Structure 1
Amino acid sequence: MKLVNPSSGYEKAFHAFYDDFSKNDPENANYYQAAKVDFSSYVQSLLDESKGINLQEGFVPCSHFWLMDNKDNIVGLIRVRHHINNEFLALECGHIGYDVAPSHRQKGYGTAMLKLALPKAKLLGIPKALVMADEDNLASQKIIKANGGQYVKTVVGKVNKWPIVHFRVECE
């Protein structure tokens, strides 16, 4: 397993990742719809976002990585926000967010992906990442705890009106 930067060379693998979401978790497939429409532009937007170029309002620079298995399938995606200096990110998103393809869940990929991303967060100047999970997402909480996540607090979001659990994780 390895984390790779977004690249147009992974188009076929990304489409399979999207199709998995579309079939098995359609509610969250919308996040990746732009890749189906114009993959090259999608990849460029992720690379631009990592450099702080053409950011949407409320967005911050964010590095994206794709988790590849040993067969070159994209089994997960992880985002590392360079800072969380606005209320929404600090309350409801945190430094790191991730998704595991539905057919690859409960196989340890989320835990491995977060572990691989923590050194990348440290290189971005984040000594302790704020990582969050919805209170009812026990699988995500398990991933965070397996990577040394220490419970901070539970809050109710202002935009997403449900309980969100905050953890601090050392970036090593």
Structure 2
Amino acid sequence: MELVSPSIEFESEFSVFYLDFAENDVENSGYYRDGISNFAQYVQRLQDEAQGLNLPDGYVPCNHFWLVDGNRNVLGAIRVRHNIDNDFLALEAGHIGYDIAPSYRGKGYGKSMLKFALPKAKMLGITQALVTADEDNIVSRKVIEANGGQFEKVVMGKVFPEPLARYWVACE
């Protein structure tokens, strides 16, 4: 298992990843829909975000990675934002956000994916990463805690008005 940067060589595997969301987690499938309509353009957009190019308002530079296994299956996606210099990121989204494909949940992949992403965050100059989870998402909270996450507090989101558990994780 490893984290890879988005690449057009994973088009068919990404399609399977998206379809898993579309069939089993419709609420979160929209985050990946653009990868189906024009994959090359989608990958370029993610690569541009890592370079801080063509960012929409409110966005910060962000590296995207996909967790792939030895058979090239895309098991998950993780985002490492270079900073949290706006109100939404500083309160709700944090430095790192991630998703595991529905068919691969409950198998420890989230824990591994976050572990692999922490050194990448450190390379970006982040020493302590803010990682959040819905307060009632016990599985995600356990992923963060398994990676050394120190619980700070629960806050009420403003963009997504739900209680969020905030954690700080050392990037090592």
Query: What one-letter code is carried by the residue in structure 2 that aligns with 1:2?
Result: E
| Match of residue 132 from structure 2 | 132
Runs (5+) with no aligned partner, structure 1: none
User: CA offset at residue 70 of structure 1?
Assistant: 1.6
User: CA offset at residue 16 of structure 1?
Assistant: 0.3
Query: What one-letter code is carried by the residue in structure 2 that aligns with 1:154?
Result: V
Distance (Å, rounded) in 1 between the aligned partners of 2:125 and 2:54: 22
| Match of residue 8 from structure 2 | 8
Distance (Å, rounded) in 1 between the aligned partners of 2:118 and 2:95: 10
| Match of residue 63 from structure 1 | 63
User: CA offset at residue 38 of structure 1?
Assistant: 0.1
User: CA offset at residue 69 of structure 1?
Assistant: 1.0
| Match of residue 45 from structure 1 | 45
SS at match of 2:33: helix
1:34-113 equivalences in 2 (<5 Å): 34-113=34-113
SS at match of 1:118: helix
User: CA offset at residue 65 of structure 1?
Assistant: 0.3
| Match of residue 161 from structure 2 | 161
Query: What one-letter code is carried by the residue in structure 2 that aligns with 1:113?
Result: M
1:142 equivalenced with 2:142 (yes/no): yes
User: CA offset at residue 89 of structure 1?
Assistant: 0.5
Query: What one-letter code is carried by the residue in structure 2 that aligns with 1:170?
Result: A
Query: What one-letter code is carried by the residue in structure 1 that aligns with 2:86?
Result: N
Distance (Å, rounded) in 2 between the aligned partners of 1:64 and 1:171: 17
Using the size of structure 1 for normalisation, the TM-score is: 0.99
Q: Return structure 1 stretches of 4+ with deviation > 3 angstroms.
A: none
Query: What one-letter code is carried by the residue in structure 2 that aligns with 1:53?
Result: L
Distance (Å, rounded) in 1 between the aligned partners of 2:160 and 2:68: 30
Distance (Å, rounded) in 1 between the aligned partners of 2:168 and 2:159: 22
CA RMSD of aligned residues (A): 0.4
User: CA offset at residue 71 of structure 1?
Assistant: 1.2
SS at match of 1:41: helix
Distance (Å, rounded) in 1 between the aligned partners of 2:25 and 2:60: 27
SS at match of 1:64: strand
| Match of residue 122 from structure 2 | 122
User: CA offset at residue 80 of structure 1?
Assistant: 0.1
1:23 equivalenced with 2:23 (yes/no): yes
SS at match of 2:70: coil
User: CA offset at residue 27 of structure 1?
Assistant: 1.2
Distance (Å, rounded) in 1 between the aligned partners of 2:143 and 2:10: 26
Query: How much identity, in percent, do the aligned residues show?
Result: 59
SS at match of 1:63: strand
